[in-house]
Amino acid sequence: MFDRKSFISVSLKESSEIKIKVLENCYDDIIKAADLLVQAVKGGKKLMLCGNGGSAADCQHIATEFMVRLSHDVRRKAIGAIALTTDSSNLTAGGNDIGFDNIFARNVEGLGNDGDVLIGISTSGNSKNVINAVNKAKEMGIHTIGFLGKSGGKMKNLCDVAICVPTENIQRIQESHITIGHILCEIAEREL
C-alpha cells in the first residue's frame, strides 16, 4: 500500500536538499543573472520569458511578479516583463504558419530590443523553440539567461548566463526555477 506520509516526507526533504545544492552550485550564476537584470531595468529595458508546459506557466508566474510586485513591503514602479507563452492566438497561428519551433523566436524578433533580457526556461536545456529564441535574441543584442536543469543541455553554452539546477528530477528542477525567479525579482525590487 502506498505510504502517503513517507512519500510527503521524502518529497519535501528532497526538495530542500536540491535547494541547498542550488545554493552551492548556482550562487555565482544567480548573481550574474541578477546583475544582468538590474542593469537592463535601470536602462529602461524589458524582460521576456519563454518555455513549454510547466515552464510556460513559470514564465507567466515570474513575469507577473516583475510587472506587479513580489514583496509587498516594497513600493516600486512596474518592471517591464512579458511571458511569450500567454497569447493563444499568437502561439497557434505561429505554430500553424511558421512552425512550433519558431514561435518564440518570432516573438523575440517582434518585441525584443537591443539590451533587453530573455529568460529561456527548459528543464532539459534542449527545447528547440527555446533554443531558437535564445539564438534570435543573441542576434539582436538581447541578453540571455537560461533556467535549466541537469547539465544544461544544448542551451548551456548558448546563454550569457546558464543556471543549471543540479538534479535529473523534473519536479525539483521546476520548483527551483520558481525559487530562482523569486530571488531575482526580489533582488531587482530591493536594488531598484
- What the block records as the C-alpha cell of 22 is 542550488
CB 159 within 8 A of CB 144: yes
pLDDT tens, residue by residue, 85-108: 999 999 999 999 999 999 999 999
- H/E element holding 49? strand 47-50
Does the pLDDT at position 138 exceed 90?
yes
Does the pLDDT at position 79 exceed 90?
yes
Does the pLDDT at position 6 exceed 90?
yes
> Residue 192 — very low, low, confident or very high, per pLDDT cuts 50/70/90?
confident
Q: Sketch the domain layout of the chain as residue ranges.
A: 14-167+184-191
Fold (CATH) for 14-167+184-191: Rossmann fold (3.40.50)
Q: What is the pLDDT of residue 1?
A: 87
Dihedral angle over CA of 69, 75, 77, 78, nearest 10: 10
> Residue 72 — very low, low, confident or very high, per pLDDT cuts 50/70/90?
confident
pTM > 0.85: yes or no? yes
* DSSP state letter for 172: H
Cα distance between residue 174 and residue 189, in whole Å:
23
**Mean pLDDT along residues 2-31:** 96
pLDDT tens, residue by residue, 20-59: 999 999 999 999 999 999 999 999 999 999 999 999 999 9
Does the pLDDT at position 74 exceed 90?
no
Does the pLDDT at position 71 exceed 90?
no
Parallel, antiparallel, or unpaired: how do β-strands 47-50 and 161-165 relate?
unpaired
pLDDT tens, residue by residue, 145-186: 999 999 999 999 999 999 999 999 999 999 999 999 999 999
Closest CA to 47 of 154, 124, 142: 142
Cα distance between residue 50 and residue 67, in whole Å:
16
